[in-house]
Amino acid sequence: MIFADEPTGNLDSQAGAEVLALLHGATTRYGQTIILVTHDPVAASHADRVVLLKDGRAGGEVHQPTKESVVSALGELSDL
C-alpha cells in the first residue's frame, strides 16, 4: 500500500503527470493500492474511485472518475 499526500502539489503539469503515471504503474505492475489525498481534480481523475470528504467525514464517492465528474461532485458537496 502506498500513501501519497498531495504528490503533485508543487510540481509543474509535466512532472505531475509523470508522478501520476508512476503511481498508476505501481498499481498495474505490482498490484499496489494507492491512497492519494489531493485537492486536484485532474490528479483525482486518475483513480478508480474517489471518496469526497467534507468536515472530516465521507461526503460521497465517484467511481471511474473524470476531471469533470470530480468537479461536479465537489460542487454538489459544497451545496450541502
Looking at residue 70, what is its pLDDT?
96
Instruction: Give pTM, 2 decimals.
Output: 0.84
* 27-80 per-position pLDDT tens digit: 999 999 999 999 999 999 999 999 999 999 999 999 999 999 999 999 998 876
The architecture (CATH level 2) of 2-79 comes to 3-Layer(aba) Sandwich (3.40)
| DSSP 3-state percent helix, strand, coil across the chain (nearest 5) | 45, 25, 30
Cα–Cα distance measured from residue 43 to residue 49, given in angstroms and rounded to the nearest whole number: 12
Cα–Cα distance measured from residue 56 to residue 25, given in angstroms and rounded to the nearest whole number: 30
Can you give the residue ranges of every domain in the chain? 2-79
Cα–Cα distance measured from residue 12 to residue 10, given in angstroms and rounded to the nearest whole number: 7
The mean pLDDT of 6-19, rounded to a whole number, is: 95
Map grid coordinates 468537479 to a residue: 71
